[in-house]
Amino acid sequence: MRYSQRLILIVSFLVQISVAVGLTSWFSLKREEQAISEVSQKLHINLTEQIHKKLFNFLAFSDITNQLSLNKIKSNNFQITDITSIEQFLLKNFKLFSTTGAIDTISYGNERGEYIGAGRLPDGTLVLKIKEDKDMYLYSLDDSLKRKKLLKIRLNYDPRKRPWYQTAIANKKQSWSPVYLTFSNSELAITLAEPIYKSSGQLFGVIGTDIILKDVSKFLADLKIGKTGRIFIVERTGKVIATSDTKKNPLDEDNKKYIRLLLQNFNLTLPQQIDLKNIQKTESLTIPVQGDLKYVQISPIKDNRGLDWLLITEFSRQEFQEVDRRNFDQTIQGLSLVFIVSIIVAIVSNNFVLKPILQLIELKRDRLTGLPSRNIFVKKIERAIEKQNTFTVILIDCDRFKRINSSYSHHVGDKLLVEVAKRLKTCLDSSDSLARLVADEFAILSLKIKDENGAIALINEIVKALSPEFLINNKKIF
């Protein structure tokens, strides 16, 4: 009887353990699909935030160059009818930004059909594009910005018939052109163009900055998206603008002609009920493909200047299943690791982004922080350039600020921005300038910092000032 009781206790204990293990395994299997979907959604969200911010930072260079050009053209001592003066100004302006690979051409066209542009070839050669008679000529330039060699001729060129010119005129404000193929180097590009009006309201011409889009593919490819993950930025027609897929270019050459590729050319076929033209908010899809599932998310990319693209992120179910199958007895730990890795990837990628100036606001002072506006900031940069002063620009971005607004309130977010501005002011010299550019982004212009060591010292002061926790309404925000 003693042995039977011992046996009963052992068996009952083993049964309980077996039931617990069995139920845990069963629930783990049941949760597998949901967990994979949740992890995929988390990756989609993190990538979307990173890409939106980095893309608009990238495109912001065109806004800066347009502002500098317009300020010069509108100045009293500049003769806008003198094409030679415009040529010299555009060349000097472009040379100032020649180290910025994003900018292809800074151009000007007018109602008389005149056109002039300063640009650069892929090998770094500075070029001049100018209309003479009815044709446009492409010249290489020497170090003194003098014409060196005729490289190319485009027959019967009229800037007034170009989409960038017509779009700006039709909208009567700064606008993005449709995506097009550049004349000088056959690359996909887009132009931010702005009309110029006389004091009487009569149209005089259009100023524009061309941005080469292949660099967008480069930073998409640099993102950590796993073995099977892919990212696309497309027009609503399905034509691909940029992709993380390094094996295929958005352009294909056929009989010496370049053809824009569609999503289908990258083996990504969306369900028939999905019409890209009608997507106004983020859509999440699960698409069966040859025994596998593809998790796809489509998000609009828009601004108030006519930009209207779509961001598509794609992950394979197998990307997550391989880890899950190899570590079935550690399913929960494995999924937690995926979350941790995704957070680490997001932090590393945001720290790596150049933080250029995004948008400039029209008021003289920011209503919330009382800091100078974009016009003040741009004019100070312009004066430093005219005086040939050495200067340093430092960009400060508040990471995950949208989450503060959504988790607490916009009122708390506003108070946080005011506190950030106050702390930044304590780091500055009387000759330094601090401005709030857009939303959660600030910029500092220093005329005293002459080298990298000085910039690093100021950055360390900023980090030290922003390190103490932020208390808003007696709540710890950061």
Give the pLDDT band (50/70/90) at residue 466.
confident
Report the pLDDT value the prediction gives residue 232, as an integer from 0 to 100.
93
| CA-to-CA separations, 379 to 107, 361, 448, in angstroms, rounded | 21, 13, 17
**Average pLDDT rounded to a whole number, residues 292-305:** 88
Angle at 181 between CA 274 and CA 256, to 5 degrees: 105
pLDDT exceeding 90 applies to what percent of the chain?
21
- Between 167 and 433, the more confident residue is 167
Query: Residue 201: helix, strand or coil by DSSP?
Result: coil
Cβ-contact 445, 380 below 8 angstroms: yes
**pLDDT (0 to 100) of residue 352:** 44
| Average pLDDT score, the chain | 79
Question: Which fold would CATH assign to domain 374-476?
Answer: Alpha-Beta Plaits (3.30.70)
pLDDT grade, residue 136 (50/70/90)? Answer: very high
Which of the pair, 92 or 149, is modelled with greater confidence?
Answer: 149
DSSP conformation class of 451:
S
pTM of the model: 0.59
In angstroms, the CA 275 to CA 208 distance is: 32
- Name the pLDDT band for 310 (thresholds 50, 70, 90): very high
Task: Write out pLDDT tens, residues 320-333.
Answer: 665 555 544 555 45
Q: What is the mean pLDDT of residues 118-126?
A: 86
CATH architecture of 79-211: 2-Layer Sandwich (3.30)
Region(s) of the chain under CATH 3.30.450.20: 79-211, 216-352
308 pLDDT higher than 80: yes
Binning pLDDT at 50, 70 and 90, where does residue 149 land?
Answer: very high
Q: What pLDDT, on the 0 to 100 scale, is given for residue 343?
A: 43
Query: What is the CATH topology of the domain spanning 216-352?
Result: Beta-Lactamase (3.30.450)
* CATH 3.30.70.270, the chain: domain bounds: 374-476
Among 52-66, 82-96, 112-126, 157-171, the range scoring the smallest mean pLDDT is 82-96
Q: Higher model confidence: residue 171 or residue 429?
A: 171
Q: Quick one: tokens of 362?
A: 């029209």
pLDDT tens, 393-409?
888 887 777 777 777 77
Place 202 in a pLDDT band, splitting at 50, 70 and 90: confident
Whether 103 contacts 210, CB under 8 Å: yes
Residue range 198-216: mean pLDDT, rounded: 88
Helix, strand, coil: what percent of the chain each, to 5?
Answer: 40, 25, 30
Report H helices in 246-285: none
